[in-house]
Chain A
Amino acid sequence: MATILAVDDSASMRQMVSFTLKGAGYNVIEAEDGQKALEKAKVSSVDLVLTDVNMPVMDGIELVKNLRTLPDYKFTPILMLTTESAGDKKMEGKNAGATGWLVKPFNPEQLLATIKKVMG
Chain B
Amino acid sequence: MSVDLSQFHQVFFEESYEGLDVMESALLNIDLSNIDEETINEIFRAAHSIKGGSGTFGFMEIAGFTHVVETLLDLIRSDQFVMEPDHVDLFLRSVDCIRTMINQLESGETCDMELADELKVVFELLLDGEKVSGVSSKTDVSSDGVHEENTGAQGWQIYFKPELDILRTGNDPVRMFRELSELGELSASAITNDIPAISGIDPEACYMAWNLTLWGDATEEQVNEVFEWVVDDSELSITPLLLGEESVEAQSEVEKLAERAATEESKSAPELVKETVSQEPSELQKATPPAAAKKSASNTPALKKEAKTESASIRVGTDKIDDLINMVGELVITQSMLSELGKDFSIENMPKLMEGLEQLGMHTRELQENVMRIRMLPISFAFSRFPRLVHDMSKNLNKKVELVLLGETTELDKTVMERIGDPLVHLVRNSLDHGLELPEKRLELGKDETGKITLNAFHQGGNIIIQIIDDGAGLNKERILSKAIENGLVTGNEHLTDEQINDLIFLPGFSTAESVTDISGRGVGMDVVRRNIQELNGSVEVESTEGEGSIFTIRLPLTLAILDGQLINVGEQVYIFPLVSIVESIQSHDQMIHRVSGGCDVLRLRNEYIPIIRLWEVFNVKPEYETVEDGLLVIVEGDNIKVAVLVDDLLAQQQVVIKSIRENYRTVNGVSGATILGDGTVSLILDISGLIKLAGVGRDSYKKINDSNDNEAA
**Do A105 and B277 touch across chains, with their CB atoms under 8 A apart?**
yes
Report chain A residues within 8 Å CB of B343: none
**Do B53 and A13 touch across chains, with their CB atoms under 8 A apart?**
yes
**Do B12 and A12 touch across chains, with their CB atoms under 8 A apart?**
yes
Partner-contacting stretch, out of B268-276, B618-626, B665-673: B268-276
**Do A13 and B52 touch across chains, with their CB atoms under 8 A apart?**
yes
**Do B229 and A104 touch across chains, with their CB atoms under 8 A apart?**
no
**Do B269 and A84 touch across chains, with their CB atoms under 8 A apart?**
yes
Shortest CB-to-CB span from B3 to chain A, Å, is: 4
The proximity string for B residues 531-552 relative to A, scoring 1 for CB distances below 8 Å and 0 otherwise, is 0000000000000000000000
CB of A45 within 8 A of chain B? no
CB of B5 within 8 A of chain A? yes
- Which of B1, B42, B56: most chain A Cβ within 10 A? B56
**Do B169 and A94 touch across chains, with their CB atoms under 8 A apart?**
yes
**Do B45 and A108 touch across chains, with their CB atoms under 8 A apart?**
no
Within 8 A of B (CB), among A49-93: 54-56, 68, 74-78, 83-88, 91
The answer for the CA separation of A58 and B172 in the assembled complex, in Å, is 27
The answer for the CA separation of A16 and B49 in the assembled complex, in Å, is 14
Tell me if B's interface is mostly helix, strand, loop or mixed.
helix
Would A97 and B52 be within 8 Å (CB), given that A86-B264, A107-B283 are in contact? no
Interface size of A by CB at 8 A reads 44
Would A75 and B167 be within 8 Å (CB), given that A16-B5, A83-B48 are in contact? yes
Would A10 and B49 be within 8 Å (CB), given that A74-B168, A99-B170, A107-B287 are in contact? yes
Nearest opposing residue in chain B for A78, CB measure: B170
Report chain A residues within 8 Å CB of B277: 105
CB of B178 within 8 A of chain A? yes
**Do A83 and B52 touch across chains, with their CB atoms under 8 A apart?**
yes
The answer for the CA separation of A52 and B664 in the assembled complex, in Å, is 50
**Do B8 and A15 touch across chains, with their CB atoms under 8 A apart?**
yes
**Do B169 and A97 touch across chains, with their CB atoms under 8 A apart?**
yes
The answer for the CA separation of A23 and B56 in the assembled complex, in Å, is 18
The answer for the CA separation of A19 and B271 in the assembled complex, in Å, is 31
**Do A16 and B3 touch across chains, with their CB atoms under 8 A apart?**
yes
Report chain B residues within 8 Å CB of A74: 168, 204
Would A105 and B276 be within 8 Å (CB), given that A10-B49, A12-B57, A20-B3 are in contact? yes
**Do B15 and A10 touch across chains, with their CB atoms under 8 A apart?**
yes
Of the candidates A77, A94, A104, A106, the one whose C-beta lies within 8 Å of that of B233 is A94
CB of B306 within 8 A of chain A? no
**Do A56 and B45 touch across chains, with their CB atoms under 8 A apart?**
yes
The answer for the CA separation of A83 and B277 in the assembled complex, in Å, is 10
Of the candidates B178, B228, B273, the one whose C-beta lies within 8 Å of that of A100 is B228
The proximity string for A residues 16-32 relative to B, scoring 1 for CB distances below 8 Å and 0 otherwise, is 10011001100000000
Shortest CB-to-CB span from B162 to chain A, Å, is: 13
